[in-house]
Amino acid sequence: MLTISVPATSANLGPGFDSIGLALDLQLTLTVLGPSQTWQVDHPYGPHVPSDARNLMIKTALSLVPNLQPQHVQVTSDIPLARGLGSSSTAIVAGLVLANELAKAPFTKQELLLKATELEGHPDNVAPAILGGLVVATYDHDQVQAVSLPAPDLYASVYVPNEELLTSASREALPSDLPFKQAIAGSSVGNTLVAALATQNWPVALQLVEQDQFHEQYRAKLVPALATIRQTAHDLGLVGTYLSGAGPTVVTLGQKADLERLQQQLKLNTSLTGQYQLLPVDATGINVHKS
């Protein structure tokens, strides 16, 4: 039996728009039950998600290796759909790894990363799903450059609103261009954030996570929980709150005890009706088990 596990990802890490992502210990697991006449996908997502070869994971697998023998697979996942935790990216990565394993692993991780980025459009979700931990990546001219940084010894307080926010709607909120001075300021913060992350200077990094100039201010009206959670964290003396991916999930990074206090306070706010998770960083990325 073949089992593939892929972690959730939190991308757009503050000013690291489309370039910095973090793997979190919330898993999508795909289990191959055996060969079948046609592709069969048992999953928990309901009738609106295909259960045959039209399923995103299977379409992705066949895009890599078109002549795969159909299989009966079972999917379990704790990653919510359309919430900014990389649900589509984990499905893409799971499909690519499925194809690679069924084809006796002819593709390297770098090749899988390039294919995943081509399908997803940006590397900041798929790179940490494949490599694990904290990854800074860029995609240009059909090449992906991904640099793994030391995995933070931090936890993530994750607030997941009940309402979906499609990436397309979140993208529409962004401007077509930025004033030159704002772009320079955003780049300066982003560069310093990478330096702080690389040297594990968490106090500086957590401050800079909140100083994005590229996307959060334009999406804030779509995710009112962001300002509420950030202000509540500030009242407790905590920094490190940012919009995960395209939203609407809001993540605060920090020490476990501090984040437990934050969540206790947030749960007193009746306007925050979503779900809470307290997650460690996943340092492994894709995990393949054969039995």
Give the model's pLDDT for residue 233: 98
Instruction: Tell me the two tokens of residue 170.
Output: 């979140």
Provide the Cα torsion 225, 230, 233, 239; round to 10°. Answer: 150
Task: Tell whether 26 is in a known binding site.
Answer: no
- Per-residue pLDDT tens digits for 225-252: 999 999 999 999 999 999 999 899 999 9
d(CA 131, CA 146): 9
Task: Tell whether 34 is in a known binding site.
Answer: no
Task: Tell whether 83 is in a known binding site.
Answer: yes
For residue 176, count other CB atoms closer than 10 A to its CB. Answer: 4
Instruction: Tell me the two tokens of residue 277.
Output: 């998770």
Going residue by residue through the chain, which has 291 residues, state the pLDDT in tens, using 9 for 90 and above.
999 999 999 999 999 999 999 999 999 999 999 999 999 999 999 999 999 999 999 999 999 999 999 999 999 999 998 899 999 999 999 999 999 999 998 999 999 999 999 999 999 999 999 999 999 999 987 899 999 999 999 999 999 999 888 778 888 999 999 999 999 999 999 999 999 999 999 999 999 999 999 999 999 999 999 999 999 999 999 999 999 998 999 999 999 999 999 999 999 999 999 999 999 999 999 999 998
Task: Tell whether 245 is in a known binding site.
Answer: no
Task: Tell whether 89 is in a known binding site.
Answer: yes
Q: Within a 13 Å sphere around the CA of 59, how many CA atoms are in the beta-carbon half?
A: 10
CATH number of 155-280: 3.30.70.890
Give the model's pLDDT for residue 186: 96
Indicate the helix (H) or strand (E) that contains 263: helix 256-266
Task: Tell whether 10 is in a known binding site.
Answer: no
Q: What angle, rounded to 10 degrees, do the helices at 109-120 and 56-64 form? A: 130
Task: Tell whether 240 is in a known binding site.
Answer: no
CATH of 2-149+282-290, one of 3.20.20.60, 2.10.70.10, 3.30.230.10, 3.40.50.1360: 3.30.230.10
Task: Tell whether 291 is in a known binding site.
Answer: no
Q: Is 63 helix (H, G, I), strand (E, B) or coil?
A: helix
Domain ranges of the chain: 2-149+282-290, 155-280
Task: Tell whether 237 is in a known binding site.
Answer: no
Question: CA nearest 158: which of 7, 24, 30?
Answer: 24
d(CA 240, CA 260): 14
Task: Tell whether 116 is in a known binding site.
Answer: no
Task: Tell whether 51 is in a known binding site.
Answer: no
Q: Are 82 and 66 in contact, with CB atoms under 8 Å apart?
A: no
Give the model's pLDDT for residue 222: 93
